[in-house]
Amino acid sequence: MKPNSLTTLAWVFANALLLSALFGLETDINFFSWNPKWGIQTIGYIAGIPAVIVFHYFITRATRQRTTCIIALSTSLLVMALAFFAAQPEPHGTGWLARTASSPGWYRWGRVLVCYFPFLISLWVLRRVMRETKYA
Q: Is the overall model pTM greater than 0.75, yes or no? A: yes
pLDDT reading at 93 higher than 80:
no
Return the pLDDT at 136: 55
Spatial distance between the Cα atoms of 110 and 8, rounded to a whole number of angstroms: 27
What percentage of the chain exceeds 70 in pLDDT?
95
Return the pLDDT at 135: 63
Return the pLDDT at 97: 64
- Give the number of residues written for the chain: 136
- For the chain, the maximum distance between any two Cα atoms, rounded to a whole number of angstroms, is 64
Spatial distance between the Cα atoms of 30 and 57, rounded to a whole number of angstroms: 29
Contact present, 55 and 118 (Cβ < 8 Å): no
16-56 tens-digit pLDDT: 999 999 999 988 888 777 778 888 999 999 999 999 999 99
